[in-house]
Amino acid sequence: MSDIDGKITRIRPQQFHEIDGLEDWRVLGEGACAYFRTGSFTAGATFVQAISTLPGVGSGHPDVDLRHGGVTVRLITIADFYGLSEQDVELARQISEVARTLHIPADPSAVQTVQVTIDALAGSDVVPFWRALLGYEDRANSPEDLIDPQRRGAPFYFQQMDAPRPQRNRVHIDVWVPYDQAEARIAAAIAAGGRLVSDAYAPSHWVLADPEGNEACVGAAGWIGAGPSGQ
């Protein structure tokens, strides 16, 4: 682990994507994810076992989802912030090297994370209900975020409203996709009957709506170089 003055060195999403050896990985929201197509549960279990022996594994690193067709790995540092650190960079490199040794290909287009966002006028009143209902807990240093303590379920984010909006839905889904998949995902959603509500915050995120006006956001992190359409 890298420390400067006793603190973990934080890495921003764009910095992460620009580092050599991390081509298998994409930053989604606050963490880096990779999907490895193992092709079988047995091959996936062998891969996970190899990951478990790497230096730096432990203390919450990494989150691993083993399925029949592949393994999803998520790296996130939970310290005085909730994001990426130099520790994650080194571990990502090592995991990719294990995959190459076992001849397991990565598919960066196959990763995504989902977040539920609730617009609230008085978050301090609303959050306790959802915390109790879901069995979630507060995210470190963030009173407006709830997370699954097992880090499996979608996080809930409570967005401060300035005024009531009875004409608009108050709950929406945020879908985080790889930065190089965002335009394709948006195009697919529009082709399926949706519409673009706003691209004012692109390439950070876009607001879409389904045919009945229910909104959702597509988010991307760590664009390298120019954003979509020359941004």
Q: What is the pLDDT of residues 145-172, one digit of tens each?
A: 899 998 889 999 998 877 766 666 788 9
Percent share of the chain, pLDDT over 90: 67
pLDDT digits (tens, 9 = 90+) for 86-101: 999 999 999 999 999 9
Per-residue pLDDT band for 229 (boundaries 50, 70, 90) equals: low
Length of the chain: 231
